[in-house]
Structure 1
Amino acid sequence: MSASDTIFALSSGGGRAGVAVVRVSGPAAGAALVALLSGGGGSADGGNVDGATPGPLSGPERSLPAPRVLRRADLFDAAGGVLDEAMVAWFPGPRSFTGEEVVELHVHGSPAVVRAVLTRLGQLAGLRPAEAGEFTQRAFLRGKLDLAAVEGLGDLIDAQTEAQRRLSLRQLGGALSQQVEDWRADIIALRAETEAWIDFPDEDLPEDFFPTIRARAGALAAEMASRTEASHRLAARVRDGYSVALVGLPNVGKSSLLNALAARDVAIVTDIAGTTRDTISVPVDLGGFLVNFIDTAGLRETRDTIEAMGVDRALRAAEQADLVLWLVDERGEAPEIADRLDAARVLRVATKQDLWRASSDTA
């Protein structure tokens, strides 16, 4: 892998879609676009690319379209046959995502069209398929994105909830980078004042010069540590989600509640006690936040080895969860868990209220 190579890849998701985006980046990107627009046996390392004037987007003329304008064009294979009717955009460097010459091909999103376009690009001299993350790597190496923005971009691509989207977009937009830059400026100022005293020791300094410098440096270090830790905690919570364990006696309604929260059948529900033998974690988008609900085995004494292992896992899940929903029916609570949990993390939930009311009415 060389940074001087010209790379290409499908930038949009795989599978069928109305539109798929293929991106090309590198010194031969412009020539590759010319070859696609011209048809025939053109290669990406030839043709009139440097200084080319805007011209027709298809046909025999070997010219590039106007930069940063999305235009309709026919793309041709090596034999001159039409690959697809597409929208193309040409981004001369450094005003592009990677800082290099970049081409975007907006083609029809069928697997056959995408495969044909990628095959044609692979036939052009000087081009190769991109490695995973290589476009972003090039943007970082050319100063288009800093490390915080790269991390934010990755999180934004992976975002599944509204909270994840907001946090990653904020980081991609430079909020963290600006904070780090402010800290850097403060450190440089402290260093400059200290070095000035070293260079000019005969200058009169206030008596509290060094105590003030130490106090400012200490306050800055404390602020950096505090904000960094808080930022990491928040990012981990938003990215990984909150964990909520559903615990209680067997057949108290844990699996039924999990299915209701997930809006689908993810856990087996029967009248037979001990059906759930292992923990089942289901991610749910709850009000824009990722919440991992954990169904657990019913808490009871048992001689069944497998069920006993499930009970032990249930207790561990409850101890590690951010919140415990302690489900209670007419039988009461599961007292053996009480001394192992932080009461502040436990929320008692009464289940089977319809059955309670029915039994009281009958009585």
Structure 2
Amino acid sequence: MTQRRDDTIFALSSGAAPSGVAVIRLSGPGVRFGLETLIGEVPKARMAALRTLRAPETGDILDRGLVLFFPGPASFTGEDVAELQVHGGRAVIASLLKTLAGLPSYRQAEAGEFTRRAFENGRADLTEIEGLADLVAAETEMQRRLAVRQAEGGLRKLYEDWRRRLIRARALIEAGLDFVDEEDVPDDVMAPAWHEAAEVAIEMAAHLDDQHFGERVRDGFEVVLLGPPNAGKSSLLNALVRREAAIVTAEPGTTRDLIEVSLDLGGHAVTLVDTAGLRETESLVEREGIARARRRAGAADLVLALSDNDSWSETIPEGAAMLRVRTKLDLVDSDSKLSAGTADIALSARTGEGLDHLVRAIGTALDLARPMPAALITRARQRDGISRSLEHLRELEREAGRAIEVKAELLRSAADALGRVTGKVDVEDLLDVIFAEFCIGK
């Protein structure tokens, strides 16, 4: 990404035209000049002002709209920022963008450039920026909640605290090395350093031991439908996604391969997987489908074990999180409906009875109903960085007899690994990848 820091950038930051209102964002050292050129003044900071925007050469009216000015460094990017809220017609937007492009040192922003300037000016770290990207891309309520917490600095606060403590531990060690003969430096000055490093290592290990919960919320949980032929797996899939995603017939073995559908299930991103019916068969194709079903169920976050007769297959993977679902409730007489037998849930895909209960039960079974921690890992990049930092600290514990200088270097490496996660240390090669996720104008 080739960028000049002394340019003033601009972009349409709202949706595509035509629209009721269009928002054009500006950032950079020339924002005040641009406002004076277009409206004849710089409005009072952070107060919406209704102004007429004119072409600088002719004085022709381009539009009339709200103008907001946010002086740096207390702005999103850390620079002077302005927003032009105008009518969302294509001609209005085109004329304003053309006028801005004609101003000295003004250019169209590249993808993610506003957010990148925020990072480079210290307004946000990489974890907050990744949270902002996740917030823009969020499709479910759980994804939104997780992204908001990360964008507000949940991970940054935790990682910066760890880094600060490790840097302090290293400082104590170096004080013991450099000033060992000084009377005001106690002999046991290094003892708190080892204790602090051990405490941080414990906290890191607990943070990593989250069963990838944050990544699951962001990327989606996997729920596998498992059971014998004609138990109602495909019918349930179709009922949940509200379309004919899977073929349903009375003939056993209709589904032979895995059918996957992603959806928002009660506010949670879920991939539903329909599978081949479990039974003994001579068909090589069907046997392969059954083998795939069992493997997929073994790796799933949740298995829905389906049965239409209150008997459950013994081939359900041992230790799998599971809900027993009694299907075809519409075919059961009214007296039998009073009890679901050994099932956790009884339902009818045909009538919809019990489907709401199932959706709630899936959320509970996935442990999404618990209060979400403020700091959850959401990306492999974050997990890798914390893992590397923790490995340096564990090496520090293993190498108790090593020279003090080596231990100090391990502490430095652990702190630097944390710094790379937040963007404090040596992350230039990551920036283009991260900011490429953003749209133009963000």
TM over 0.5: yes
| Rounded Cα–Cα distance in structure 2 between residues aligned with 1:275 and 1:27 | 65
Give the whole-Å Cα distance in 1 for the aligned partners of 2:158 and 2:250.
56
Q: Quick one: which of 162, 180, 200 aligns to 2:141?
A: 162
Find out whether 1:66 has 2:68 as its counterpart: no
Larger radius of gyration: 1
Letter in 1 for 2:138: A
- Structure 1 window deviating more from structure 2 (21-30 vs 213-222): it is 213-222
Please name the residue that 1:347 is paired with.
323
Partner of 2:407: none
Q: What is the distance in 2 between the residues matched to 1:300 and 1:117? A: 67
2-structure distance, mates of 1:283, 1:343: 25
- How far off its partner does 1:79 sit? 5.2
TM norm structure 2: 0.66
**Counterpart residue type for residue 147 of structure 1:** L
Distance 1:202 1:281 in 2: 69
Partner of 1:10: 12
Aligned counterpart in structure 1 of residue 68 of structure 2, from 81, 89, 102: 89
CA distance in 1, matches of 2:118, 2:216: 28
Inter-partner Cα distance in structure 1 for 2:251 and 2:52: 64
Question: How many angstroms does 1:329 deviate by?
Answer: 1.9
Residue type of the alignment partner of 2:324? R
- Give the TM-score of the pair, scaled to structure 1: 0.79
Secondary structure of the structure 1 residue equivalent to 2:212: helix
Tell me the SS of whatever aligns to 2:107.
strand
Deviation at 1:127, TM superposition (A): 2.3
1:305 Cα deviation after fit:
6.3
8 Å contact from structure 1 (residues 197, 203) kept in 2: no
Is the contact made by 2:51 and 2:64 (CA closer than 8 Å) also made in structure 1?
A: yes
1:53 is aligned to: none
1:214 aligns with 2:194: yes
Counterpart position of 1:23: 25
Deviations 1:210-233 (A, max 9, x none): 555433322222223332x14682
Correspondent of 1:129 among 108, 124, 127 = 108
What residue is the counterpart of 1:195 in the other structure?
174
Mapped to 2, the partners of 1:9 and 1:203 lie a distance apart of 60
Q: Displacement, 1:325?
A: 0.5
Task: Supply the AA of the counterpart residue of 1:71.
Answer: A
Q: Any residues of structure 2 matched to 1:291-330 within 5 Å, and which?
A: 291-300=270-279, 307=286, 310-330=289-309
Which ranges in structure 1 are unaligned for 5 or more consecutive residues?
38-56
Shift of 1:72: 1.6
C-alpha separation in 2, matches of 1:15 and 1:250: 51
- Distance in 1 separating the partners of 2:127 and 2:285: 46
Give 1:206 shift: 7.0
> Identity over the aligned pairs, expressed in percent?
49
Show CA shifts across 1:115-168 (max 9, x none): 443343334442222111111001100111122211221122122222222222
**1:108-123, aligned counterparts within 5 Å?**
108-123=87-102
